[in-house]
Amino acid sequence: MSLPHLRDLPVPALPGAFAAAGVRGAAIVARDVALAMHQRHALRWEELPLGREARGRLEARFRFGPLLGEPAVAVAADGTRKYVFPALDGAAVEVVLIRNLKAVTLCLSSQAGCALGCTFCATAALGLRRNLTPGEILESLARAGKDAGVRVSDVIFMGQGEPLHNYDAVMDACTNLNHHHGPSLSKRRISVSTAGLTPRIRRYAAERRPWRLYLSLHSAVEETREQLMPIARVHPLPDLLDAMREYQQLCEVPWVTLQYVAIPGVNMDDRHVDALRERLAGLRAILDVIPWNDIGGPYRAPTWAEVRDFRNRLMGLGCPVKTRYSAGKQDGMGCGQLTAGLLALAPKGGHIDAPWGIYTD
């Protein structure tokens, strides 16, 4: 069995792990190693602040070294940067770095590919290759920020993959992102976006996770949501929205964010607005409208006039409505456009026909 990688370990677990390895002054050494890995971007043993004895003891118990190769980097006209890192087994780890006047946001992937088969998302065509490890997620952040010469202030798990399918690894990554010996991001600036795995949302709520949880809703009409997101056949809307109400109550969240990809002729008519009014009763929610980004296929992107009209009708629901501009969308970096440039290599059929059935827990 392969030795565990140091970057995969939760920062709070390092002192105990180092003590078990026989390292003297384990708590102090663990602090210094965590800071070197997560804030100074150390990638190799010789870059860690370790004496000969401590390093020898740790090398007998753990691996350390780069988990990702040199990335392919694309820069959009608006300054958005996309990184595609090759993992050691060839899987692609894709992240997008977005700058604005107030923040530097990194859109993180939790999986290589995705199993959900959402019909509006290009990543679905890849199928699911595998889950990413916490170390791969954290290294992608460190190296993208270092390459761009910025400190990432916000992260959202909204790249490739369904974060709650890779629950434990994503939670460990979030713990390290927030830890003061890790990247030290505010818990309010760490967001996890889910397509709606009801049991995992309930687990998230029961564990009182402090990171923001966003739900990709996209329709409050059951048949439309099933058309867009086959996972809805497993987790129907009544149970899903009850789980979000449970999350709001247990985690004391004033407002939950519901993401809504707006697609003309599919989910922007008055029927869908009325369904939102009915379904969202008792849920203090912000509607985050995301105009669909063109990836080909049966849909078309809305005009801004259509988006404004839809937003105005949503305002009648009495809840806050935001319209999100997808940075980098003209260069294939926007919401729903991530494929790591691998679509030509994707297997034909199989992965996305009915993968949701294996994720019912």
- Residue 350 and residue 59: Cα distance in Å, rounded? 41
Mean predicted confidence (pLDDT) in 205-211: 98
Task: Give tens-digit pLDDT for 304-356.
Answer: 999 999 999 999 999 999 988 766 656 566 676 667 565 433 333 323 232 33
Lookup: tokens for 360: 């019912």
Is 70 one of the catalytic residues? no
- Residues 343, 126 contacting (CB under 8 angstroms): yes
Work out the percent of the chain whose per-residue pLDDT is above 70. Answer: 90
Classify domain 72-358 by CATH architecture: Alpha-Beta Barrel (3.20)
Active-site option among 107, 121, 251, 335: 335
Domain with CATH 3.20.20.70 in the chain: 72-358
Lookup: tokens for 264: 């003309």
Task: Give tens-digit pLDDT for 19-63.
Answer: 999 999 999 999 999 999 999 999 999 999 999 999 999 999 999
- Residue 193 and residue 191: Cα distance in Å, rounded? 7
- Residues 93, 109 contacting (CB under 8 angstroms): yes
Is 335 one of the catalytic residues? yes
- Residue 110 and residue 130: Cα distance in Å, rounded? 9
Return the pLDDT at 185: 97
Active-site option among 53, 59, 94, 121: 94
- Residue 289 and residue 314: Cα distance in Å, rounded? 10
Count of other CB atoms within 10 angstroms of residue 43: 18
Return the pLDDT at 176: 98
Mean predicted confidence (pLDDT) in 86-109: 92
